[in-house]
Amino acid sequence: MKVPQFQPWVGQEEYAAIRECFDLNWITEGPQSTKFAQELLELIGAKYGVFAPNGTLALYLGLRALSIGPGDEVLVPDFTFMGSASAVEMTGATPVFIDVNQENFQVDLDSAAKAITKKTKAIMPVHIYGTMAEMERVQQFAKKYQLLIIEDAAQAIGVRRYGRHAGTFGAVGCFSFFADKTITTAEGGFVVTNSKRLYTRLLFLRNQGRINRGSFIHPQVGYNFRMTDLQTAVGRVQLKKLPQIIERKHQILALYKKHLKNIPEITFFRPPQGSDWIPFRVGISYPYATELMDYLRQKEIETRTYFYPLHRQPAFAYLKKHRTYHDKDFPGAVAGYNYGICLPTFPLLSTEQIKHICRSIKEFIKIKRQPFYHYYDTIYGQKDYQSETEQTLALAHELLHRKPTKVLEVGCGTGSHTLQLAKHIPHLVSIDIDPSMVKIAQKKIKNQNNVSLLYSSVEKLAADQFDLVLALFNVVTYIPTMTKLISFFASIASRLTPGGVFLFDCWNGIAAIADPPRNRNISLVSNGKKIDCKQTATTNLISQHTRLAYDLVVTSESKKEPEEHGYLSFNQTLWTPMQIRSALKSAGLSVVRDCTWKNLTIPASSSDRQIIFCCLKKP
């Protein structure tokens, strides 16, 4: 199934509007343009507006109206379309690049503060990907450094921040109606301002240095920046379609989110608080973006990278004579370019096409996870599973006052505990919600009649009762919310015989706050292969979340070059002991002991990282 990156949504209605211009025999800028300008100003809530032939020239016109020119510097985000900076260059001023944040690629004011010189005259926040920069902060910044603000709102028609439309915060705001923009006139631009003085300047500049046409006397030097009624008539139809376009774009975003949910490897573009988001493109970040895009290309799905950082643009190499630009000063823009992918997002995109895209992304992510599973035991096999299992069973024995006979193991992983448990338990059911793990475990535990290894969650498991349920490997940290934690415990309670025991371990969130999960590297050689596994932990202590990412490189000892690259990541919740206790109580389980592997008889303290909870279902 072919999926283009973009298709404009124009058809018979736009065609009829153009034909009407021919019928009226008015094709240059005329009545349609006047009406379109009025309608746009109504939508945007600005006092004045003039057209330009495209977004780049709208920016140029705006800059010129602000008297920006040779000798001036304008702060431009490093992460934007070339046109933002080339408009500055066209005035004779110098674009000075500043970084953007990594969540939504809006202008980073700390980076901007470092770039200020005596020559800095203006800042150009670019409202990227259909959402908006935090304009109140940009305004404060501009006031502090006495800068003019020119908003690049090329991608932000219809987008508001706390109800105020993009383009109305600065001295001027500039829009583009290029074919891929939210509404289009094929090519086109619009500059808005609330200043009568600037409006007059804009009129002179765009209309050959005079206010009205029909005179050959030109008080100033100006240029021809007109549009045609053929274009603005199309724009008027598009504007009528805007509510539908916005609705469909939101549907598209919701579909992408639905079909790509629970994939910790993928991060969606996150709009700033207070800003609308009319997805210009649905943007995702993935560490192996280039490989994923190649894979999608083979499936005839056309994606785009995020913007190439302006400080790296060959066209701007000349700027390095006066300033030094290094990647390390632009972590936001560089990460955006390295990891960002624009997924197709246009009103004509069908639900089937979106499903096809998401299916293909999931296929690739699965392929990329495979090496991790393949080498999992090699990397983590050193743990003493035998002694851990024996300790667990001794604890269960003590609490049950007898040997457990029917055991459910939740989260079998690659089956290392399972293999040990199978030696002692007459009837063992082991489950995992990760099918790849279950496959590895099944290979390990072949021909054991007392063990059933299943790809299942507790909830989906066929009704059965157990006298012991075990959930080792930090299973509860994979549960994202309190509601889900309670329902997980409740379904375990429903599987336990009265008086049955539930034993599980968890990472203690309180201890993690003092000593959060860390980055670490594991390097080893096995069967002539060098295996390097880099674990990266990104922890947000406020939301008690950790994202663990595993980057695996396998190098053949003989070839000395990487032959496999694996990548996978997990989201984990760092539950506090209090939260665990409260969820257990809600699920009808009582904690009879908590301890750590170091000492199973002494109660765990809040500084213990790995706590083992022992729970009982009422007899």
- Residue range at the interface with ligand PLP (CB under 6 A); choices 34-42, 139-147, 149-157, 327-335: 149-157
Q: How far apart are CA 280 and CA 343, in angstroms?
A: 10
| Calpha distance 187→574 (Å, rounded) | 51
Q: Which stretch binds ligand PLP (CB under 6 A): 77-85, 157-165, 237-245, 595-603?
A: 77-85
315: helix, coil or strand?
helix
**Residue 242 in tokens:** 């805007």
Among the listed residues 309, 275, 248, 358, the one whose alpha carbon sits nearest the alpha carbon of residue 81 = 309
183: left (phi over 0), alpha (psi -120 to 50) or beta: beta
Stretch that binds ligand PLP, among 48-56, 233-241, 368-376, 586-594 (CB under 6 A): 48-56
Q: How far apart are CA 532 and CA 474, in angstroms?
A: 24
- Measured CA to CA, the distance from residue 600 to residue 541 in angstroms comes to 28
Q: Which residues pair with 616 in a beta bridge?
A: 501, 590
Sign of torsion, CA 301 306 312 316?
Answer: positive
Helix (H) or strand (E) holding 379: helix 351-380
Minimum CB distance to ligand PLP, residue 106 (Å): 12
Q: Is 91 in the site for ligand PLP (CB under 6 A)?
A: no
* Least separation in angstroms between CB 132 and ligand PLP: 12
Residue 56 found at the interface with ligand PLP (CB under 6 A): yes
DSSP state of 548: E
Residue placing its CB nearer to ligand PLP in the complex, 269 or 575: 269
Q: Interface with ligand PLP includes 159 (CB under 6 A)?
A: no
Q: Write each residue from 109 to 138 as x if it is in contact with ligand PLP (CB under 6 A), else as -, in one continuous string.
A: -----------------x------------
**Interactions with ligand PLP, residue window 255-314 (CB under 6 A):** none
Based on the shown chain and the rule CB under 6 A, indicate whether residue 152 belongs to the binding site for ligand PLP: yes
Candidate segments 8-16, 37-45, 53-61, 518-526, binder of ligand PLP by CB under 6 A: 53-61
- State the DSSP code for 204: H
Q: Is 84 in the site for ligand PLP (CB under 6 A)?
A: yes
Candidates 176, 360, 420, 544; binder of ligand PLP (CB under 6 A) is 176
Which position's Cβ is nearest ligand PLP?
55
Radius of gyration, CA atoms only, the chain: 31
Residue 238 engages ligand PLP in binding (rule: CB under 6 A): no
- The reply on whether position 155 binds ligand PLP by CB under 6 A is yes
Q: Quick one: which segment of 108-116, 147-155, 238-246, 369-377 binds ligand PLP (CB under 6 A)?
A: 147-155
- Contact status: 154 vs ligand PLP (CB under 6 A): yes
CB 73 within 8 A of CB 96: yes
Q: Which stretch binds ligand PLP (CB under 6 A): 76-84, 191-199, 346-354, 519-527?
A: 76-84
Pairing label, strands 172-176, 189-193: antiparallel
Please check whether residue 188 is in contact with residue 227, taking contact to mean a CB–CB distance below 8 angstroms: yes
Of 36, 51, 178, 613, the one binding ligand PLP (CB under 6 A) is 178
Coil, strand, or helix at residue 110?
Answer: helix
Nearer to ligand PLP, 175 or 567 (CB): 175
Considering the complex, what minimum distance in angstroms separates the CB of residue 155 from ligand PLP? 5
Regarding 104 and contact with ligand PLP (CB under 6 A), the answer is no
Q: Which two tokens stand for residue 575?
A: 């539950």
Binding ligand PLP (rule: CB under 6 A), the pick from 8, 46, 62, 80 is 80
Q: Does 55 bind ligand PLP (CB under 6 A)?
A: yes
Pairing of strands 73-77, 120-123: parallel
Task: Say whether residue 60 binds ligand PLP (CB under 6 A).
Answer: no
What single string gives the DSSP state of each residue in 450-485? Answer: TEEEEE--TTTSPS--EEEEEE-TTGGGG--SHHHH
**Pick 128 or 396: Cβ nearer ligand PLP:** 128
Among 8, 49, 62, 83, binds ligand PLP (CB under 6 A): 83
Residues between 416 and 475 that touch ligand PLP (CB under 6 A): none
Q: Helix crossing, 577-586 with 482-495: angle to 10°?
A: 50
What dihedral do alpha carbons 94, 100, 106, 111 form, nearest 10°?
-70
Q: Which is nearer to ligand PLP, 56 or 353 (CB)?
A: 56
Secondary element (H or E) of residue 341 = strand 340-343
Q: How far is the CB of 513 from ligand PLP (least distance, A)?
A: 40
- Residue 81 binds to ligand PLP (criterion: CB under 6 A): yes
* Rounded Cα distance, 227 and 231, in Å: 7
Q: State how far the Cα of 516 lies from the Cα of 293, in Å rounded to an integer.
A: 34
Residue 189 near ligand PLP by CB under 6 A: yes
Measured CA to CA, the distance from residue 344 to residue 450 in angstroms comes to 50
Which CB atom, from 111 or from 155, has the smaller least distance to ligand PLP? 155
What's the chain's length in residues? 619
Q: How far is the CB of 77 from ligand PLP (least distance, A)?
A: 9
Candidates 78-86, 195-203, 227-235, 309-317 — which segment interacts with ligand PLP by CB under 6 A? Answer: 78-86
Q: Tell me the C-alpha distance between 207 and 217, whole Å.
A: 12
Q: Are 302 and 288 in contact (CB under 8 A)?
A: no
Residue closest to 120 by CA, chosen among 136, 87, 98: 98
Question: For residue 328, how many other CB atoms are within 10 A of its CB?
Answer: 7
Nearest-approach distance from CB 281 to ligand PLP, in angstroms: 10
Q: In whole angstroms, how close is the CB of 572 to ligand PLP at the nearest point?
A: 37
Q: How far is the CB of 302 from ligand PLP (least distance, A)?
A: 17
Site for ligand PLP (CB under 6 A): how many residues? Answer: 14
Mark the segment that binds ligand PLP (CB under 6 A) among 14-22, 81-89, 384-392, 514-522.
81-89
Interacting span for ligand PLP (CB under 6 A) from 148-156, 253-261, 391-399, 516-524 = 148-156
Q: What are the residue ranges of helices labelled H in 264-350?
A: 289-298, 331-339
We find the least distance from the C-beta atom of residue 568 to ligand PLP, in angstroms, to be 34
Cβ proximity to ligand PLP, 178 vs 375, nearer residue: 178
When the beta carbons of 190 and 199 are compared against ligand PLP, the nearer one is 190
- Applying CB under 6 A, the residues found at the interface with ligand PLP are 54-56, 80-81, 83-84, 126, 152, 154-155, 176, 178, 189
